[in-house]
Amino acid sequence: MSIRIGTRGSKLALAQTQTVCRKLSLSGIDTEQVIINTRGDTTTSVPLHEIGGQGVFVRALDDAILAGEIDCAVHSMKDIPAFRPSGVFTAAVLKRDSAADYLACNGSLDSVRVIGTSSTRRRAQLLRHNPAIIIKDLRGNVDTRIRKMTSGEFDAIMLAEAGLTRLGISIPGMRYSPEKFVPAPNQGTVAVVSRADSSLMEILSTLDHPQTRTDVAIERGVMEQLGGGCFTPIGIYCNDGHLIAEVLSLDGKRTERIETDIQNIEQAREQGKNLRTRARDLIDDAFRKLGINYER
C-alpha cells in the first residue's frame, strides 16, 4: 500500500513529513509526498489574526483529504483548530518534542530591544516580562525570520524550540521554560490527520504516542472552552497530566492562570470553563481591540 501524504512546502513542514515517511518506511509502507500551498503560506504581509488564525495553514490540506487528492496530511498540531470538519480525523500524534519557546538573538541578550513575533501570546508574555521592549510583527518560515533578524530588522525573534531542533539549526539565544512561559496548546507536537478509512487509520495509528495524545487532548479540551484561536493571548501546557493554562491581556499587564493535575478530558473542559469565566474580560478586550467579531 502506498500512502499519499500532504504537506506544506516549508522546510519545517517537509522535515516533519519526512520523519513520518521514515517511520512508515520502517514498517514497509511506501509513501508519496504531495506539496499543497495554503493561504497562511502565501499571505505573509499581514498578522495571522487578519486572515483567519492558525486554521489557514490547515484548511487546504483538509480539503485535499476530503476531495481524495491525498490520503493524509502532516501538521504541527498547534496549527490545527479546535473544531474540525466532518470526515477528517487525527490518526496519529507523534511523541512530543520540546514545547518551549526560544528567543534567538544577534548579540547579547542584555542588548535586545526589538523582538519580532506574530503571536499575540508571545507578545503579551514578553511584555509582561519586560514592558520596555518593542515588539514588531514578524511572519514567514523559520529561514525568513532568521534572515530578517541577521539583517538587522530585529534584535531577536521568538521561535518554537522544536522547529529549530527538527531543522538542525543552532543559534544563540535563550530557552524559555514552558512552565513559566506557557506555550501555545499542542506546541512541539506533530499530528497526522486522515480520511475515515479503517485500513489507513490502522497503519497510521502505529505512529501514535499515547501519553502525548493524552496530554494534547487535555490541552485541546481547555482550548475548546476558551476559544480565541490565535487572537487571544492564551498559553496551555500539559505534561503527564499536570496542566498549566493562562489568559493574558494583549499588553501583558493582566493574567488569569490555573495550575492543577488533570485525570481526564471532562476535568480539562471544566477547568477551561472556569478559566473562561475568570478571563472573560481579557478575551472580550482582545477581540474588541483586534476588531474581530465572535460569538460568546
Residues serving a catalytic function are: 79
Amino acid at 71: D
Q: Which of 192, 228, 215 is nearest to 55 (CA)?
A: 228
Which residues lie below 8 Å from residue 289, measured CB to CB, with a gap of 6+? 250
Task: Report the C-alpha gap between 195 and 150 in whole angstroms.
Answer: 42
- Backbone φ and ψ for 10, nearest 5 degrees, come out as -70, 160
Q: How far is CA 231 from CA 198, 249, 283, in A?
A: 36, 11, 9
- Backbone φ and ψ for 220, nearest 5 degrees, come out as -70, -30
